[in-house]
Chain A
Amino acid sequence: MFKKVLIANRGEIAVRIIRACRELGLETVAVFSEADRNALHVRYADEAYLLGPAPSRESYLRADKILDVAKKSGADAIHPGYGFLAEREDFAAKCADLGIAFIGPKPSSIAAMGDKGKARATVIKAGVPVVPGTEDVGNMTNDDLLKIAPKIGFPLLIKATAGGGGKGMREVKSLEEMPTLLESARREAESAFGDGNVYLEKLVEGARHIEFQILADSHGNVIHLGERECSIQRRHQKLLEEAPSPFMDEELREKMGSVAVKSAQAVDYVNAGTIEFLVDKDKNFYFLEMNTRLQVEHPITEMITGVDIVAEQIRIARGRQLSYTQDQITFNGHAIECRVNAEDPFNNFIPSTGRIAHSLLPTGPGVRVDTGVYPGFEITPYYDPMIAKLIVWGETRAQAILRMRRALEEYRIVGVRTNIPFHQTLMDSHRFMGGQFDTRFVEERFSMDTDNASDPNVEIAAILATLVAHQQTERSARIFRPNERDTSNWKWVGRWERMHR
């Protein structure tokens, strides 16, 4: 049974994990880069060690240095959080070699799910539905792909085997345009991943992105904690998640939940994981991938189930049985999470850096904020732009939306631009309120531009701007008011000119 946990991460998730450790009476070890000396996770942990310079590859991605810190501090467990080293099987394996408990799945499960092709092949064998395509076939030539494409049907997607983040991805509407798109997809994949292999996949239209949280212990118990709706995305980055999904019914949940459990069992999974599905408008669902780690959006599941997922992860890693059976998992109310990013929604979501000058967090009934920043903290360009997660709970979806609106309005951050106005606009959108959206909603049917004609606040804004401009004019006038200097302004100008001659 380990007693001291090293958290190999930064930001809000490091703080989240430290909190769970504290509640369980475990000691905590933080690691940090030169840019993060003043970060919250460093201030909250029992011990903290410098890893190296700001860029991730010289700090948070240095597995060797992190393992050295573990040895030096006597940490007997490592929680990787998400991102960085969380899905690196070699890191998990090294921990095992050194006798350090890795709070996550076995290296073999990470490997099995990490390669998309292998993951697909594995779950197909277990009888899990996947999006029709050629991913499990292996490398195919352009000729073969062109031959098989009509059988899959158009529209379809070309995707990179080594892919991620939409790189090397192309949408194909017809056979005629396919050869050129194949070439460009291969080129992009080659330059991004050093691997130009691609596969084809049917494009699921009106697709929703719905994922299932699962928990598995080392005694063979696997349960799911229901779904999360993650269709609100931009450039394949999730912006808002909610649980339960407004699209879900009891029958579908049971069906998808049992498939999620089956997928996890197929790779002999242990610890917390997430199975991502695409669901089409007729409620057909397809396995997309498995994330073998804690998810960013885990708090919404915690809010509606009451399960502390990080505490369960630690319990599982200690070799104990899950605290719950499937029957004991019930869902209460509705939760929404907004990811607050340092980016300007009025300027094409360009990242914003700077020092947080002022921050006022929303609180009150049903509100939770997971963040790693505070006034005075510097947002640097080295890491992810997410600075906080704002999570609300309500008895119903409608109450959760009203509560989220209120909380977003309360949230004040000065010093960097944030996407809070984006979330506010989203909360006011009728399509969002009606639960009518798919993964393309934000990019194709959403706009930050609103109608100023019917807006009663335009005049107020005009008055405010005038007052600020007036104050500024007054101030600058005061600086140059005559006779405030000890000599006349003309004399002063004369001296100044002589000095610059």
Chain B
Amino acid sequence: MKYITTVDGKEYQIEVVDEKHVRVGDRLLEVDFESVNGQPVFSVILDGKSYESFISESDEGWQVLMRGKQYQITVEDEREKRLRAAAGGGVAEGGEFNLKAPMPGLVVAIPVAEGQEIKKGQVLIILESMKMQNELKSPKDGIVERIRVKAGESVEQKQALLSVK
């Protein structure tokens, strides 16, 4: 199976040849790939070099944490890539953004109001958790659609807080 893997705008052609081999560009590498203890921690030996990394799936693709650095990576097979090219991309920019609580906590303040026009990076909600106040910011320009919580309210992790259109 052939994949196009993108890290920070740079594309890699990676083919999973069989269980023991991958081809990167035109180089064939011997690979020994194991998950540690059934955890999202993976150990890989690539042509004799040993690496370990924590890999999780996020909304934007894969997050690979290795040697103190985090890489944001998208992996597509050729068909997915063609489909996305045909759709013209831009799904992330156009759609509605639903702000969910990244952790359980207490809503301290909501410095925006419904119908308000906001800029990317503007603070939408201040959430207190573990004695720390955290500013949850908007990832895009838009209009505040619906605020589902009030200041002083306790929220669960992943609870919908508000949406930006």
Residues of A within 8 A of B (CB): 235, 342-343, 346-348, 350-353, 357-358, 381-385, 408-409, 412, 414, 420-421, 424-425, 428, 450, 452, 455, 457-470, 473
Contact = CB atoms under 8 A, between A and B. Distances in A.
A424 B67 contact: yes
A473 B1 contact: yes
B162 interface: no
A343 B105 CA distance: 14
B55 A465 contact: yes
Nearest to A347: B102
Contacts of A465: 5, 55, 61-62, 64, 71, 73, 75
Describe B's contact surface by its main secondary structure.
strand
Contact of B7 (A352, A461, A467, A470): A461
Contacts of B41: 358, 412, 414
A461 B42 contact: no
B68 A425 contact: yes
A381 B130 contact: yes
Contact size range, B? 35 or more
Interface string B45-78: 0100001111100000110111111110101010
A184 to B, nearest CB: 14
B73 A346 contact: no
A60 B46 CA distance: 50
B124 interface: no
A468 B71 contact: no
Contacts of A357: 39
Contact of A462 (B52, B69, B70, B73): B73
A459 B51 CA distance: 12
B116 interface: no
Nearest to A422: B68
B161 interface: no
A261 B102 CA distance: 46
Contacts of B70: 346, 421
Interface of B: 1, 3, 5, 7-8, 10, 12, 14, 16, 22, 24, 29, 31, 33, 36-37, 39-42, 44, 46, 51-55, 61-62, 64-71, 73, 75, 77, 102-105, 129-132, 134-135, 137, 157
19 contacts: A350-B102, A351-B105, A358-B41, A381-B129, A383-B131, A384-B130, A409-B68, A414-B40, A414-B41, A414-B54, A421-B70, A457-B51, A462-B73, A463-B44, A464-B55, A466-B5, A468-B42, A468-B62, A470-B1
Given A348-B135, A470-B3, A464 B68 contact: no
Given A381-B129, A384-B131, A358 B5 contact: no
B12 A462 contact: yes
B105 A450 contact: no
Given A414-B41, A468-B55, A342 B130 contact: yes
A457 B73 CA distance: 13
Given A464-B53, A469-B75, 7 more contacts: A414-B40, A421-B68, A424-B67, A425-B68, A428-B68, A457-B67, A463-B5
A341 B149 CA distance: 28
